[in-house]
Chains A and B, each alone.
Chain A
Amino acid sequence: MYDDSRTNMSKQIHTPEGDTMLSSVRNACLVLKSFRLTSPELGITEISKLTRLPKSTVYKLVATLSAEGFLEKNPVSGRYRPALPLFEMSQSVLHRIQLTEEALPFMRTLAQQSGETVMLSLYENGEVIWILKIDGPYALKVYSEVGRRNPAYAAASGKAMMASMDRKELDRLFALPWHPVTPKTNIDKAAVRKELEIIRNIGYATQFEEIDEGIASVAAPIFDHLGRPAAAVLVAGAVTRFKKETLKTLGALVRKTALEISRHLGYNTKS
């Protein structure tokens, strides 16, 4: 169900030809990145499939990553998993992002008002990453966890940011190969272009089971002082609760919250 589209995206990155030293560094990064919230433990064969690297290469890289303390072997399953230093790194990154602190009070209010799970999402290289989560009264037990990545075109927050993204980045994103995350993920690029038009008009984006079955979300972009999309705030909940009327109310709420955060960051509405 979870397509590993990230691996494909990484293929876009070019290293100088013949530079095997740097490509091995890049491959080590790919190996580390194949450990996701939904795949916490992986064997050599699985990593080889996900990264499309030969098993022998993966084997050597995993040995180095383990020796350096970045991965550890689960002695019971015989598979590998991320080790403590990666946790330390992720926490230090999340802690540093000032935005989370600035956005927190507004997001708490939104969680109260909507009753749903509220999240903050950043865009990077064609993907969105959730960096803050606040559970509402009806909190979901899904993998809507901090740190999870998904392709931007599948996520409401991704589409919200795509709708106001600069042309160059958007072209780059549309040039990437798109893969469905669930059977409902819309990977029809022309249809998504049209959807972005609508998002620009109504000020919020939606997603129905495009990332997790049974889950829908509504998102709006947060702008920085230069009017660039810096992040997106989103509300996620059971798709059964996101009916037409509710959707409008939620859309308005999310848009209002995003605007408040944007103003707080120095964004001038007129620009």
Chain B
Amino acid sequence: MATTLTSVRNSLRILKLFVDHRQTLSLTDIATKLGTAKSTAFRLITTLEKEGILKRDKETGRYTLGLGLVEPGMSFYIHNTLVQIAKRHLRELLRRTNETAYLFIPHHANAICLESVETHHVLRASIRKGSRSPLIASVCGNTILASQDRRTWHAHIRQYLESTDSYTITRHISMVQRLMQIRSTGYAFYTEYDNPDLRTIACPFFSPSGHILGAIAVTGPTQRLDVSQEKQLVAAVTKTAQRIGAALLKHVQSESRFEEVY
């Protein structure tokens, strides 16, 4: 049984490669990243392909995710308490700000977008459901990270700056300062890391016991979300975060199902 479960674990590791890399992978890529012989990787891939979970492009021979696990994944989304509660509030936030409004939750070193409602402006931020950004390199992620402990901050900052080959003490300190700022004000209002033409306003929300659950944010072009509107925007986002927190509390109390909520 030990070896059979090893092959299950390896096949799951293959799937994780596709979640992490968001692209097509060749047999060689997969075998290298997995650290197994090509023949082993090939047999696992073929099995996953037969189940419709991976798909091979006939022209390039490279693999992508197939439709096989779309339904279980959507089942997570449709039945997720937080999504159900947040949806209405995010739509309201979109109406008030006229910009893309979304919800992120932490997952290891990343923030994952659980729900997003997009504005109809031609020029807009497109934040899609299921997308992930590093906690350390996105405004929304920073908002989540800010409410975690300082040792976690340092670990994330160091790892991130070293991976981008731009580690300096100055950068490290300025990132710590930003996290401290977010923590003391309770919100973030910054331009995005990967696109300085976008600005994000984000606010964390907590479980009844004070545990960080995620962040609510609005992102749009800096020309529309300028500093003069900071107060109004922050008020709208903060209110949404509070309402979602309150709705969660009510849900928990009414059904005594705290553990079901993240």
Most chain A CB inside 10 Å of its own CB: which residue of B9, B70, B259: B70
Q: Does B11 contact A (CB under 8 A)?
A: yes
Tell me if A26 and B50 are in contact (CB < 8 A): yes
Q: Does B16 contact A (CB under 8 A)?
A: yes
Q: Does A139 contact B (CB under 8 A)?
A: no
| Chain A residues whose CB sits within 8 angstroms of the CB of B1 once the complex forms | 60
Tell me if B22 and A25 are in contact (CB < 8 A): no
Give the contacting residue for A89; candidates B69, B75, B131; CB below 8 A. B69
- Interface digits, B58-90 against A, CB 8 Å rule (1 contact, 0 not)? 000000111111111111111100000000000
Q: Does A43 contact B (CB under 8 A)?
A: no
Most chain B CB inside 10 Å of its own CB: which residue of A13, A20, A84, A88: A88
| Chain A residues whose CB sits within 8 angstroms of the CB of B50 once the complex forms | 13, 15, 26
- Beta-carbon nearest neighbor of B14 in chain A: A25
- Beta-carbon nearest neighbor of B5 in chain A: A64
Most chain A CB inside 10 Å of its own CB: which residue of B43, B67, B68: B67
Give the contacting residue for B15; candidates A26, A89, A95, A96; CB below 8 A. A89
Tell me if B19 and A21 are in contact (CB < 8 A): no
**Given A81-B76, A129-B70: A28 and B11 interface contact (C-beta under 8 Å):** yes
- Beta-carbon nearest neighbor of A24 in chain B: B4
Tell me if B7 and A85 are in contact (CB < 8 A): no
Give chain B's interface secondary structure class: helix
Bound CA span A217–B130, Å: 30
Give the contacting residue for B76; candidates A13, A30, A39, A86; CB below 8 A. A86
Q: Tally A residues with Cβ within 8 Å of B.
A: 55
Tell me if A96 and B73 are in contact (CB < 8 A): no
| Chain A residues whose CB sits within 8 angstroms of the CB of B67 once the complex forms | 93, 122, 124, 129, 131
| Chain A residues whose CB sits within 8 angstroms of the CB of B72 once the complex forms | 32-33, 35-36, 82, 86, 90
Bound CA span A26–B54, Å: 12
Tell me if B47 and A89 are in contact (CB < 8 A): no
Which residues A139-182 have CB closer than 8 A to chain B?
Answer: 145-149
Tell me if B47 and A25 are in contact (CB < 8 A): yes
Which residues A29-81 have CB closer than 8 A to chain B?
Answer: 29-30, 32-33, 35-37, 39-41, 60-61, 64-65, 68, 70, 74-76, 81
Tell me if B5 and A22 are in contact (CB < 8 A): no
Q: Does B48 contact A (CB under 8 A)?
A: yes
Bound CA span A83–B259, Å: 14
Q: Does B160 contact A (CB under 8 A)?
A: no
- Interface digits, B79-103 against A, CB 8 Å rule (1 contact, 0 not)? 1000000000000000000000000
A-B contact pairs, 16 of them (CB 8 A): A21-B7, A25-B44, A28-B8, A33-B68, A35-B71, A40-B79, A60-B1, A61-B8, A84-B112, A85-B19, A86-B76, A89-B15, A89-B65, A92-B65, A129-B67, A129-B71
